[in-house]
Amino acid sequence: MDKRSYLVPGLLAFLLHVAVLLLLAGHWFDHADPRELQPRHIQAQMVDLGAVSQALEKQTEQARRAEEARKKDEQRKLNEREQAQEKQRQQELAAQEKAKKAAQAQEQKVRDEQAAKEKSVKEAEQKAETQRQQKEQADVLAKAKAAETKAAAEAKQKAQEQAKLATEKKKQVEDLAKAAADKKKQADDQARRAAEKKQADEQAKLAAEKKKQADLAAKAKAETEAKRVAEAKRKQEEQQRKEADKARELAQLEKELAQEQQKMAADRASQQLTVSMGDYIRSELERYWRISSASRNGMEAVVEIRLFPSGEVDSANLVLSSGDSGFDTTAVQAVYKVDRFSRLTELDPLTFERNFRKFRVKFRPEGLRW
């Protein structure tokens, strides 16, 4: 019994160290890319490690515990996988939705671009430019999001692989433990020397000490790891929040754009009316503007006209003088002489408010003798 008890624990301890080192090494390599950090997976490893160390302390319970831990671990991993899949699905869904939205936006944009082209080449160009930029940005955003989703999926896959590897290692450890138990049985059969037993004891003690240290280190490491994980989590959340913000903004912009376009369509109609009303107002003023003989080509006076919805003149005020008070007077008088722009009642109230409640008229005679 004594002999058995020295050799087997020693081997076990050695193997355990190797296993721990291997696991940790894998972990260290993982650090290289913070994006690939999978906090839950690392947590699982930690728990796993604790279970293994406990198994070392109490050999009789070891197998059961290991089994328990394994089961637990598997359960966790299953949960994680499910969660990850869920998350991935959600992200994919979000991405799909975004893509759909983008597509819709694009569709609308195309429609609107055509409409805008009809309206005015210049405006259309300008608008198309901004729309194109927005679309590009949306595309870029969608792409970035897709890439992120993909990266996350990859990371998860990697984590799963690692978890699988860890499980395999554990199995090996378990196999080894089994083998060790067999050997112990053999060793029971072969009596060992006390010194050897003592040595084994010492070795076991040493191993225990080492294990304690490893525990401490693992603990410390786990703490920093937890911090890092928390940080990473925070970062990720922030990232997600940003993305959400962006998406919201984009949606908002699209909505505004759509509204604006609707408004523009309405405006186009009202603008046509505005133009014809402008012609009407001009002809009315030309009928009543008595150009004085002191007027000269190049004189220019601007009169601001305020109207009542009935088309009646509320006020006419000079806002830019020609420098010739007589000329200015004739311009203002022309407005009052018209008295009522009766056709303005044909306008819808919105167009009237927007364009004809208050507007300016520039009096600038052409074709005078001088």
Partner 1 sequence: MVIAMKQRLLACCVLMLLAFGVRAELVIEVTQGVDAPTPIAVVPFGWSGGTPLPEDIAEIVSTDLYRSGFFSAMKRSDMLSFPQQQAQVFFRDWRVSGQNYLLIGRVTSAGGEQLQVTYELYDVLKETRVFGEQISGSTRNMRDMAHYIADAVFEKLTGLRGAFSTRIAYVTAQNQGGGRHRYSLQLADADGARARTILESREPIMSPSWSKDGSKLAYVSFESSRPGIYVQHLATGKREKIQSFAGLNGAPAWAPDGQRLALTLSKDGNPEIYTLDLARRQLTRVTHHYGIDTEPTWSPDGQSILFTSDRGGQPQIYRVYLSDRRIERVTFEGNYNSSGKLTQDGRFLAMVHRSAGAGAAFNIAVQDLKTGRLDILTQTSLDESPTIAPNGSIVLYATQQGNTGVLAAVSLDGRVRFRMPSSSGDVREPAWSPYLQ
- Sign of the Cα torsion 265, 267, 273, 279 reads negative
Token pair of 198 as six digits: 């003592």
Q: DSSP string spanning 318-343? A: EEE--S-HHHHHHHHHHHHHH-B-GG
**Mask: binding to partner 1, 98-137, rule CB under 8 A, as x and -?**
-------------------------x--xx--x--xx--x
Which residues make Cβ contacts (< 8 Å) with residue 289, sequence separation at least 6?
Answer: 330, 331, 334, 337, 363
134 or 160: whose CB is closer to partner 1?
Answer: 134
Nearer to partner 1, 120 or 157 (CB): 120
Nearest-approach distance from CB 58 to partner 1, in angstroms: 55
Site for partner 1 in 340-359 (CB under 8 A): 354-356, 358-359
Among positions 33, 260, 314, 346, the unique one binding partner 1 when judged by CB under 8 A: 260
What part of residues 285-324 is at the interface with partner 1 (CB under 8 A)? Answer: 285-294, 302, 324
CB of 326 to partner 1, least distance (A): 4
Q: In the bound complex, what is the minimum distance in angstroms from residue 361's beta carbon to partner 1? A: 5
Instruction: Give the whole-angstrom CA distance, residue 57 versus residue 94.
Output: 49
Which residue, 5 or 355, has its beta carbon nearer to partner 1? Answer: 355
Least Å distance, CB 286 to partner 1, is: 5
Closest approach of partner 1 to the CB of residue 291, in Å: 4
Contact with partner 1 (CB under 8 A): which of 72, 267, 273, 306?
267
Residues 196-255 binding partner 1 (CB under 8 A) are 245-246, 249, 253
Burial of 327: CB neighbours in 10 Å, binned 0-12, 13-18, 19+:
buried
- What are the phi and psi torsion angles at 290 (to 5°)? -95, 105
- The residues, any chain, with a CB within 8 Å of residue 316's CB and separated by 6 or more, are 303, 304, 305, 306, 332, 335, 336
Three-state SS at 286: helix
Q: b/e string for 226-248 if b means 16 or more Cβ within 10 A? A: eeebeebeeebeeeeeebeeebe
Q: Does 188 bind partner 1 (CB under 8 A)?
A: no
Binding footprint of partner 1 on the chain (CB under 8 A): 123, 126-127, 130, 133-134, 137, 245-246, 249, 253, 256-257, 260, 263-264, 267, 271, 274, 278, 281-282, 285-294, 302, 324-330, 333-334, 336-337, 339, 354-356, 358-367, 369-370
